[in-house]
Structure 1
């Protein structure tokens, strides 16, 4: 008996020691997560502002070559530090955290070799659109306004650093396509004004929150006017002159990313990075061609259902041009988007058990970027809950914004698409911040496209034109697989890509040209949507097949979102575990940090 108690005591001590080591490993890992999160906020202050962290609202990211080198060295050091932690000794939840963090860091370090910082200006963003940051700032205190004034004071430094990077890009032959950069001079010119109150940077000073004393307002306005005229406008004038006379003539004639130094390896990297798979360009192109053919057949059925007598090409022209499909004014279009969102909201309980707590709103895309940007986008809420999510809609030229696209667009960008995905991620209370705010494109955009299709279960596609809109949006993402790989790996011209898009989808030419230019400017990113959606849909089909009558769509959708944004391989492992738990009735899917399951 004594020997039994001694053995038991030894086993107990051993178990306690193992638990202590386990806790120490977990603590070491989370300390690294917290350290890197803070470094990211400190070194990229704009990201801190987007997260609702206002500590760095008085500064911009340091774009000097020295600061870039320091950040790259710190990324490598973080990866080395992560690998000193014994993954096998971690809890299942922290193994997922470890794997996700390692995936991100490995690719952050790998892409350093492509020197992306040498192209600091794109046709959809750069210092010429820096005023857009004000959209997410609180402007609820005098300090908020003074922080913005400090940022305005510092803009000339940012622009000088940008000019240096542009010059280095020219030396290295790392420059963007001219067809995109021809859009940029007008964007820069919009910042060069004579009346400071017309500057986009002045917008926060037009209307003050009630919390700002009236005695302070005139002084803040006067400071803003002086800084804009003395600092901001001259800096943008300098950028404009440099851009048009020295940079634009040196941009490249070709559109393929493979024209860049080491460009083919770069495109292979981007395809893997965005899709989180090992699919190559040729495989993705083939998948795209197959999906385009499948969806065209479905479109033919819808065309027949509407009673339209012409060809599918003629039907597309009808959808693009008939006045019944368009609102006449920007205000009418915005009102319609807001009403549509309210129509969607009460139907969400049909396909989800868990509704995120964070609200969302609908806003117009700012006028100064609307002509060159996409149909809509989503801006996540602040990580501390102090700012809701926003669904931004493009009101530029309402005559090219058809009503039949509004339902799938809203399901994708707002609810239950990106808003659910980001808001649910923030509601993982035990997960590290990098997991709560993560954005893997294949998961996030795959979910958005999958969410468009949930409109059927929600009873929202009530007529054939709505259903045509859903197919048009799915076709849009299938076409991307073909034209992105076509332009960047198979020698397609911009005109051929536009023609292929036009032949296979009813989106208007304004959108099609903007989309093709987006794929030229951000190669590989557009591949993630359809690949991600197909993987999520395949997981759903697998769950239906293996669970039979036990399958619950609401529970499946919750299970997809409860991981937060992860690489597709991690999502597949999680859903496999969820299926097993549903089969056994255990109700536990496994390692999900912060899960409410």
Structure 2
């Protein structure tokens, strides 16, 4: 699983792994692989299912925080080894061994559903092995995906890390010790990056420093990492509570806060002066080739960077034309630029109270829920809640995001809204944002995937950004048919969000392959959308930090729309929209080519009825 694929799902947390269990994880793949080979069943289906089950278990050993997020609590005291040489070797051995083993299976003897799964598995192992050739480990932290953020969220008691038993509390102390070790190894890897000229742009380093500053409190009780002590269960004895309080206070005061202070000082005094002036990946050694790989990995296509750039330019022009039609429809007296300015500044388009914004999204949730059954046979069992982004990360977080529900159903999904700058959250953008992040967007796709029972485990929990974000953008399009865009201003919000995804194709490729500066990218987005400047800056800096990820949305959506059009044309009166959605949602997240094959097979089966 590519560590940068899943910003908004369980799999993004793979980027947050640490270093305390290197010896254990390095031996796990070889041991399990040897034992599984000795008892390999005979049928192709049994061989495949046993192999991917072994792979998934080995992956969890290698990535303990990932295991926690998928509901496996066997490794909750471990942090992982993502920055060690032992870990890198273990990851390579894991992928190369299972890639070779998969090639021994007679694919022609697999049923259609497992052929689909097999194609996904082979794709993953191949892309992982290619990705190993680039030194991502020299860039262990950025302002958008941060191990520090992940650990604070886990320690809040409101995320995947359990805090129900004394053992749970001891496990978290063990994981914190691994995190402390990670802060030291991160500095070593960044030193290597400095020597190799693989470093972050200066502006991104400047963003990291205040994020680290926010963790440097004067005493343990004021630390975010002290939060579990404030949640001690009533069932604990007074002695247990006193002992845990003492252990947490000592670890935070004597080890964690000094380690975070040292990391902050390193970033400020050593790394910042060594950061680079270039804003895109082209400024790194072999950067253009690396970026082309990232573009292909995130979009799960073979499109060239130039092709993606041109698609973006074409989509921007089309959407601008649609926006101008809305301007005429509402009778605005002025050109499109003036319309943008009006929508971005006039008070009636914004809330003045943070809670009113959250309440507004709850009302939209209720409205959308009333019509979902008309378009879907399969809907998630898990619900979702609307919640503001936490204060410690709201200044640099995206405008909204989604966190998947607990696999065991104990925690709902979370639709996060950034309430830091209410001027970046216009009322006219709320419907489309809810469709995208919650239902039927990310919440449907990710929650249903986790709830599948007839697919291999790896298929339930991995993710491809092009599919997941493409689906979410398709969900915005579906809102037109669902009748939730009857208000032209809300429809403009849909166009505005679609414009953002189209601009990403232009800006991301411009930054990383065509030598664009940060300022040039910001200006392009200001010229073509009504987005708040603070939102634009955060978006551009996000693209700078995780190149290629933002390409996935539009490429994925366009692929889904093309496949739907192909199905409608081929099936005519036999086309069933609910059935088409079933095909997209009931196999997990798919690479684009694999999804195309599945829809083609479905069309053939429907025609044969």
Give the TM-score normalised by the residue count of structure 2.
Answer: 0.90
What residue in structure 2 maps to residue 12 of structure 1? Answer: none
Rg larger in 1 or in 2? 1
Between the aligned partners of 2:336 and 2:236, the Cα distance in structure 1 is: 58
Contact 1:377–1:392 (CA<8 Å) still a contact in 2? yes
- Give the 3-state SS of the residue equivalent to 2:386 in structure 1: strand
Q: Deviations over 1:397-428 (max 9, x none)?
A: 22321111111111111110111111221232
Q: Shift of residue 389 of structure 1?
A: 1.9
2:579 to 555, 575, 594: 555
- Give the 3-state SS of the residue equivalent to 1:183 in structure 2: helix
- Give the 3-state SS of the residue equivalent to 2:231 in structure 1: coil
What residue in structure 1 maps to residue 564 of structure 2? Answer: 540
1:51 to 64, 70, 92: 70
Q: Shift of residue 299 of structure 1?
A: 0.2
2:79 to 60, 71, 85: 60
- Give the 3-state SS of the residue equivalent to 1:56 in structure 2: coil
Q: Shift of residue 23 of structure 1?
A: 5.2
What residue in structure 2 maps to residue 424 of structure 1? Answer: 448
What residue in structure 2 maps to residue 133 of structure 1? Answer: 154
Between the aligned partners of 1:290 and 1:304, the Cα distance in structure 2 is: 22
What residue in structure 1 maps to residue 537 of structure 2? Answer: 513
What residue in structure 1 maps to residue 99 of structure 2? Answer: 79
Q: Shift of residue 584 of structure 1?
A: 2.9
Between the aligned partners of 1:22 and 1:152, the Cα distance in structure 2 is: 41
Between the aligned partners of 2:148 and 2:451, the Cα distance in structure 1 is: 34
Contact 1:378–1:418 (CA<8 Å) still a contact in 2? yes
Q: Which piece of structure 1 moves more, 376-385 or 403-412?
A: 376-385
Between the aligned partners of 1:67 and 1:576, the Cα distance in structure 2 is: 40
What residue in structure 2 maps to residue 243 of structure 1? Answer: 267
Contact 2:344–2:423 (CA<8 Å) still a contact in 1? no
- Give the 3-state SS of the residue equivalent to 2:376 in structure 1: coil
| 1:390-539 equivalence runs, <5 A | 390-539=414-563
| 1:94-493 equivalence runs, <5 A | 94-129=114-149, 130-134=151-155, 135-212=159-236, 216-493=240-517
Rate the CA distance shift 1:22–1:236 in 2: closer, same or farther, 3 A. closer
Between the aligned partners of 2:178 and 2:470, the Cα distance in structure 1 is: 38
Between the aligned partners of 1:371 and 1:509, the Cα distance in structure 2 is: 13
Between the aligned partners of 1:23 and 1:392, the Cα distance in structure 2 is: 47
Between the aligned partners of 2:300 and 2:536, the Cα distance in structure 1 is: 26
What residue in structure 1 maps to residue 7 of structure 2? Answer: none
Q: Shift of residue 452 of structure 1?
A: 0.8
| 1:9-20 equivalence runs, <5 A | none
Between the aligned partners of 1:153 and 1:491, the Cα distance in structure 2 is: 41
Q: Shift of residue 236 of structure 1?
A: 0.5
- Give the 3-state SS of the residue equivalent to 2:132 in structure 1: helix
Contact 2:44–2:105 (CA<8 Å) still a contact in 1? yes
- Give the 3-state SS of the residue equivalent to 1:136 in structure 2: coil
What residue in structure 2 maps to residue 592 of structure 1? Answer: none
Rate the CA distance shift 1:212–1:304 in 2: closer, same or farther, 3 A. farther
Contact 1:140–1:211 (CA<8 Å) still a contact in 2? no
Between the aligned partners of 1:517 and 1:177, the Cα distance in structure 2 is: 10
Rate the CA distance shift 1:538–1:157 in 2: closer, same or farther, 3 A. same
Between the aligned partners of 1:533 and 1:507, the Cα distance in structure 2 is: 21
Contact 2:194–2:274 (CA<8 Å) still a contact in 1? yes
Between the aligned partners of 2:58 and 2:232, the Cα distance in structure 1 is: 32
Contact 1:140–1:209 (CA<8 Å) still a contact in 2? yes
Q: Which piece of structure 1 moves more, 419-428 or 64-73?
A: 64-73
Between the aligned partners of 1:462 and 1:208, the Cα distance in structure 2 is: 49
Contact 1:127–1:159 (CA<8 Å) still a contact in 2? no
Between the aligned partners of 1:347 and 1:138, the Cα distance in structure 2 is: 35
Give the TM-score normalised by the residue count of structure 1.
Answer: 0.91
Q: Deviations over 1:450-496 (max 9, x none)?
A: 00111122221131110000000111100001111111111111111
Q: Shift of residue 145 of structure 1?
A: 1.9
Q: Deviations over 1:7-51 (max 9, x none)?
A: xxxxxxxxxxxxxx9952222222221121112111111111111
What residue in structure 2 maps to residue 32 of structure 1? Answer: 51
Which runs of 5 or more structure 2 residues have no equivalent in the other structure? Answer: 1-39
What residue in structure 2 maps to residue 18 of structure 1? Answer: none
Rate the CA distance shift 1:26–1:552 in 2: closer, same or farther, 3 A. closer
Q: Which piece of structure 1 moves more, 284-293 or 57-66?
A: 57-66
Contact 1:155–1:235 (CA<8 Å) still a contact in 2? no
Contact 1:379–1:391 (CA<8 Å) still a contact in 2? yes
Between the aligned partners of 2:204 and 2:446, the Cα distance in structure 1 is: 30
- Give the 3-state SS of the residue equivalent to 1:33 in structure 2: helix
Between the aligned partners of 1:377 and 1:209, the Cα distance in structure 2 is: 30
Rate the CA distance shift 1:338–1:146 in 2: closer, same or farther, 3 A. farther
Between the aligned partners of 1:461 and 1:357, the Cα distance in structure 2 is: 26
1:92 to 112, 117, 121: 112
Between the aligned partners of 2:247 and 2:349, the Cα distance in structure 1 is: 47
Between the aligned partners of 2:42 and 2:330, the Cα distance in structure 1 is: 63
| 1:577-588 equivalence runs, <5 A | 577-585=601-609
Rate the CA distance shift 1:541–1:137 in 2: closer, same or farther, 3 A. same
Q: Shift of residue 516 of structure 1?
A: 0.6
CA-based RMSD of the aligned residues comes to 1.7
- Give the 3-state SS of the residue equivalent to 1:289 in structure 2: helix
- Give the 3-state SS of the residue equivalent to 1:399 in structure 2: helix
Q: Which piece of structure 1 moves more, 114-123 or 398-407?
A: 398-407
Contact 2:354–2:422 (CA<8 Å) still a contact in 1? yes
Contact 1:51–1:384 (CA<8 Å) still a contact in 2? no
Rate the CA distance shift 1:212–1:345 in 2: closer, same or farther, 3 A. farther
